[in-house]
Amino acid sequence: MGNVKRWPVLAGVGVVVAAAGWWIVDEMPTVDDAVAREALPPIDEHLREWLRATAHSGADVRWVCTQKVIETRADHEQVKIGLVASCDEVERDGDGLVTLGGFRRQPMVYRVERTPGGFRVLDRKVAEDGAGYSPSVKALFSWTGARRVLDGASPDDPRSVSAAAFGLPESTPVRTGR
């Protein structure tokens, strides 16, 4: 008789596990690689324009950014692209480059729409600093996307592409500060 009572419990546990698994898989952030490839250039340009406008950089200074796309989510005719960005303010210095400042691992969500010429940036929301960081990341991203961000998902170091941004060889030295 003991086995008869266990079957309903085991069946119930199986249903709960299956439902939880389905929910997790359904909520997993996915990246549409084709959309990300096509949308990243206008996103990168938008980000660098915003940085140039807010940082009051000199004419010879360039903002160099790298992004790691965490998720792409269709939103009617638009797409929300959740990413983490790292950017450096870089200046040419003799035969090398020098970073003047920047930031690392800034979570943000861009809303873009497809146009005949590619994607166009509509707006961007950035995670808050300090005590508002975790709640704002959770509000911007899906549950699993937020987990990836909070667990440390990070783009490549902008130094890895700084030389290319100036049309210089990859071996060009990049140092920090002056």
Res. 29: pLDDT tops 60: no
The model's pTM? 0.79
- Model confidence over 31-79: pLDDT tens digits? 888 889 999 999 999 999 998 887 766 777 899 999 999 999 987 789 9
Nearest alpha-carbon partner for 112 in 120, 104, 102: 120
